[in-house]
Amino acid sequence: MPFSDLREWLKFLEENGELVRVNREVDWNLEVGAIVRRVYDTLAPAPLFENIKDYPGFKMLGAPVGLSSRNRYARIASALDMPMDSKVEAITDEYIKRRRNPIKPLIVSKGVSQENVLMGDDVDLFRFPAPCVHEGDGGRYIGTWHTVITKDLESEWVNYGMYRQMIHDRNHLGGLMMYPQHIGVHHKLYSERNERMEFATVIGTEPVTAIISATPLATGVSEVDIIGGLRGEPLELVKAKTVDLYVPARAEIVIEGYVDPREMKEEGPFAEYTGYVASGRSEKPVYTVTAITYRNNPILPVSAMGVPIDDCSAIMPLFMAADALSELRDVKHHPVKFVYCPPEGVNHFWVISTKVLSKTYVRQLAVDFWATKTGMGGNFVLIVDEDVDITNLKDIVWALTTRVHPEKDVFIFPGAWSCPLLPWVAPPEKATQEGARMLLDGTWPYTWPKEWIPRVSSFEAIWPKEIQDMVLKNWRDYGF
């Protein structure tokens, strides 16, 4: 059965050794961020901070879907109600299967997310232990692992996305709204018509909602329906108090309000998912808060973005790759074996294993990949034959250095869209979001005769099957 809320999931994580309760007092100012960062580096269990300086009765959760020492994707698998030892291929297959069966949300009359209601002069964002995550951040960021809900101005499409949010004062937030991110698409339409855009920021949901909010889906796709499909049952929603939006009924905290297109204020900097402080302080849209609702003793999740691997660099590439794999197979009809985005590549280095159909096939596959929503940000793409295990970073590096000819197999595509948060994008390019893409062809040349292709000398490839089985069977008897 899917988890009904964040607390139910945390109980499961604790029972399975993936959560640690931190009872010692911790400071929301830098200390929490540093601990969470260290958790990522050591693949430690998720910390639940229960004693926060200045904030009795509140809790903070760090690294909710960070990688695990027991199995890289243990917490992510558990979020999908899958075995914690599930391999990346199994998680991908299950994600694709469930995505094809979306389930619409269930509207309910009330929810625990509205046990407490702050409106008017009672609204105060500083009532919550929003952390200053990194030294040098522009302020306290209450939104680092959350969901921002906005509605399209011209249709019924409602977007769930994860966009950083910094506290300006008691009732104002600031953050990025980059185009072509969907919040940027929505904001652009409202701004062109000089209309306010309503929003709801949802913090502390059952795990799938935050995961899908961090996963870029195609324009017009209803994330809440996909969330239902992945959970196997509808997400319960309740009408917000001051905006015309519906919000998860069992969330920990919900912040409601609007974005006025005429109002801008300096926000940032913030240490971003690329592992760098990639953007400075600049004027960005302002979220005006009209209401805050929350559960009793709420839990505030925190992600400390930085050098991979953190929550976003763990989850985003996994399901982005699943979407790309599904589209390449089902829409473009490519004989692709697998698509993987190593989390170390922060969404911008991709590997595809495939059967090669012709001399020019690899370049066509790359172009079709870049045409997908998730492939848009793939500045570096390595394509290899089916025999390479592209989920293994060791095998990726091995294939890159032994199968890619530095002169003949590297193709540069200039003037391509590139995320302005990438540090190699120069300031003039950031304004136009221009950069470049690179294709690395790691397949054996289609025109080579079979005898030219060297034999792989791995355990699985060069020893007879009966010898492999015997060695594996007797491994403990050898003394290992």
Q: Are 20 and 45 in contact (CB under 8 A)?
A: yes
466 is catalytic: no
Burial class (CB in 10 A: 0-12, 13-18, 19+), 263: middle
Question: What is d(CA 133, CA 144) in angstroms, rounded to the nearest whole number?
Answer: 9
If you count them, how many residues does the chain have? 480
Question: What is d(CA 228, CA 102) in angstroms, rounded to the nearest whole number?
Answer: 6
Burial class (CB in 10 A: 0-12, 13-18, 19+), 16: middle
- State how far Cα 92 lies from the chain centre: 14
Which residue matches tokens 């492999």? 468
Q: Which residues pair with 416 in a beta bridge?
A: 435
Q: Are 182 and 161 in contact (CB under 8 A)?
A: yes
Q: Are 480 and 474 in contact (CB under 8 A)?
A: no
Question: What is d(CA 356, CA 445) in angstroms, rounded to the nearest whole number?
Answer: 9
Q: Exactly one of 94, 272, 451, 466 is catalytic; name it.
A: 272
Q: At 213, is the secondary structure helix, strand, or coil?
A: helix
Instruction: Name the residue among 270, 83, 78, 92 with its Cα closest to residue 164.
Output: 270
Question: What is d(CA 422, CA 380) in angstroms, rounded to the nearest whole number?
Answer: 13
Instruction: Name the residue among 326, 449, 373, 52 with its Cα closest to residue 217.
Output: 373
DSSP state string for 302-343: E----SS-SHHHHHHHHHHHHHHHHHHHHTS---EEEEE--G
Which residue matches tokens 């795990």? 207
Which residue matches tokens 């970073």? 393
Q: Which strands, in side-by-side order, build the sheet including 299-302?
A: 19-22, 46-49, 59-62, 299-302
Q: Which residues of 166-194 are buried (b: 16+ CB within 10 A; e: fewer)?
A: bbbeebbbbbbbbeebbbebbbeebbeee
246 φ, ψ (degrees, to nearest 5): -110, 140
- Tell me how far CA of residue 478 lies from CA of 463, 472, 473, in angstroms: 18, 10, 10
Q: At 355, is the secondary structure helix, strand, or coil?
A: coil
Active-site residues, by number, are: 272
